[in-house]
């Protein structure tokens, strides 16, 4: 009996993996350009970290975590998101004391959530995320948004929509929260049990409910924008001014709230507007989380970040019909005829590889014709043929597969010759 892959996961095979390498490369390169440094955290953490850092009332903590006890009876959880672990590491490694502030970090790491799998929703997925920690300058909110947009745009995406909102500061949120409770309470029995639980704990999250999104009270719900105090209003205005300065378009949606509990001020999502993208159109989400570092035992540290999954990025590229140029061809395939040539080809291949030339040879004892076929399949730019005669003359016959041109090259000059032709 064969064993299949677990539900909601997938293998990324050669042919597909090159696309992943390319978008990872782009994410790393853009991060470096914006002066963000990579951080890698463990795949599992103490369960408490997510309960405290993501929030008890969130879907992630309530329903989606892969939690298990290890053999020492500690409760551990496979990382469902990146911000809590990065914040833990920031506090643990006292990054608040580093000379270069704010601390600007990025990660590309697998995440695990027990969700109902569908297109764009998996149980293991890879997130590219950014955290800028230690600045309350609205310009850095705009920088973080611009970084995400740059990655998408430079990969060729055009049908993007940046949706922006503010959740205000603690005071604004308190006033908004009261208004929301007053709004929903009289008819809360018409809402799902999740929403009923959220009402007093975190009524903002009712607005994020997928089941009750069409209820009439949703549309008439009080907007955060009416409850912003002066400071929060000014903050939001300045984020918009910085986005305008960078010529980044956005639409304001006062109903946009993020699934995680720790956000305040800026919240944003980037959506794909490509036709045929499917039901899930959010490519990335992020926002400001000024209280989290303190909640996890560090000093007050205003921070902002986002996360995007590479799976949804690839789906968006596909929906827009963008094909990534991945390099598949090899530089040279060595065809060897006869036992001695075969032996010699081992040394030749080794030299080519040390010289940085992408090359290969036959290992299946194939006839000449089949070796040429293999060279073709690997899209070799050159085929180097070594037979008895070439061996005795100390040369090798090199065929340029584009032009068909053939040259006799001294064995010791082969790598130089190929490098010129590359």
Query: Which residue, 135 or 284, has its beta carbon nearer to ligand ATP?
Result: 284
SS3 89: helix
For ligand ATP, the closer CB: 9 or 406: 9
Distance CA 135, CA 393 (A): 70
Site for ligand ATP in 200-259 (CB under 6 A): 259
Residue (140 or 260) nearer to ligand ATP, CB = 260
Q: Which stretch binds ligand ATP (CB under 6 A): 18-26, 279-287, 323-331, 373-381?
A: 279-287
At residue 175, φ and ψ (nearest 5 deg) are -65, -40
Size of the site for ligand ATP (CB under 6 A): 19
Half-sphere exposure of residue 255, counting CA atoms within 13 Å on the CB side? 12
Q: Using a CB cutoff of 8 Å and minimum separation of 24, what contacts does 69-78 make?
A: 74/46, 75/46, 75/47, 75/48, 76/44, 76/45, 76/46, 76/47, 77/44, 77/45, 77/46, 77/47, 77/49, 77/50, 78/43, 78/44, 78/112
Which residue in the set 95, 164, 167, 307 belongs to the binding site for ligand ATP (CB under 6 A)? 307
Q: Is 81 in the site for ligand ATP (CB under 6 A)?
A: yes
**Residue with Cβ nearer ligand ATP (54 or 180):** 54
What are the beta bridge partners of residue 121? 118
Among 167, 224, 248, 283, indicate the residue that binds ligand ATP (CB under 6 A).
283
133 and 105 Cβ atoms separated by less than 8 Å: yes
Q: Tell me whether residue 3 or residue 279 sits nearer to ligand ATP (CB atom).
A: 279
Please say which residue, 264 or 345, places its beta carbon nearer to ligand ATP.
264
- State which of residues 311, 320, 331, 362 lies at the interface with ligand ATP (CB under 6 A): 311
Structure tokens at 313: 């990025």
Radius of gyration of the chain (CA): 28
Does residue 282 bind ligand ATP (CB under 6 A)? yes
Provide the minimum distance between the beta carbon of 86 and ligand ATP in the complex, in angstroms, as a whole number: 14
State the Cα–Cα distance between residues 235 and 253, nearest whole angstrom: 16
By CB under 6 A, tell whether 160 contacts ligand ATP: no
Binding site residues, ligand ATP, CB under 6 A? 81, 113, 115, 120-122, 125, 127, 259, 280, 282-285, 307-309, 311-312
């Amino acid at each position: 009996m064969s064993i299949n892959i677990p539900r909601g996961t997938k293998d990324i095979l050669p042919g597909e993996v090159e696309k992943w390498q390319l978008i990872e490369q782009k994410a790393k390169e853009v991060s470096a350009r914006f002066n963000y440094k990579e951080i890698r955290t463990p795949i599992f953490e103490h369960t408490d970290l997510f309960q405290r850092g993501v929030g008890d009332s969130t879907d992630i903590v309530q329903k989606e975590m892969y939690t298990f006890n290890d053999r020492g009876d500690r409760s551990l959880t496979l990382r469902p998101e990146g911000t809590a672990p990065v914040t833990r590491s920031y506090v643990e490694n006292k990054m608040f004391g580093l000379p270069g502030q704010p601390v600007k970090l990025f990660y590309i790491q697998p995440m695990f959530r027990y969700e109902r799998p569908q297109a764009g929703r998996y149980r293991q997925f890879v997130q590219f995320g950014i955290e800028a920690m230690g600045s309350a300058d609205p310009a850095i909110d705009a920088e973080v948004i611009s970084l995400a947009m740059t990655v998408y745009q430079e990969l060729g995406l055009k049908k993007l929509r940046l949706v922006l909102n503010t959740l205000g500061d603690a005071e604004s949120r308190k006033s908004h929260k009261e208004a929301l409770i007053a709004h929903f309470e009289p008819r809360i029995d018409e809402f799902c049990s999740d929403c009923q639980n959220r009402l007093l704990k975190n009524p903002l999250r009712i607005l994020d409910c997928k089941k009750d999104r069409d209820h009439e009270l949703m549309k008439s719900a009080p907007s955060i924008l009416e409850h912003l105090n002066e400071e929060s209003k000014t903050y939001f205005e300045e984020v918009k001014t910085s986005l305008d300065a960078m010529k980044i378009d956005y639409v304001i949606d006062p109903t946009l709230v993020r699934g995680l509990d720790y956000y305040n001020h800026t919240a944003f999502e980037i959506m794909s507007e490509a036709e045929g993208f499917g039901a899930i159109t959010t490519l990335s989400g992020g926002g400001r989380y000024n209280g989290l570092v303190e909640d996890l035992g560090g000093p007050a540290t205003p921070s902002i970040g986002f996360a995007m999954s590479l799976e949804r990025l690839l789906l968006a590229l596909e929906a827009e019909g963008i094909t990534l140029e991945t390099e598949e061809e090899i530089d040279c395939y060595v065809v060897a005829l006869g036992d001695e040539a075969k032996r010699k080809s081992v040394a030749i291949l080794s030299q080519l590889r040390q010289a940085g030339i992408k090359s290969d040879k036959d290992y299946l004892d194939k006839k000449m014709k089949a070796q040429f076929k293999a060279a073709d399949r690997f899209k070799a730019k050159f085929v180097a043929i070594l037979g008895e005669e070439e061996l005795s003359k100390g040369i090798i016959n090199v065929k340029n597969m584009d032009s068909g041109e053939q040259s006799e090259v001294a064995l010791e000059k082969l790598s130089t010759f190929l490098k010129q032709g590359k």
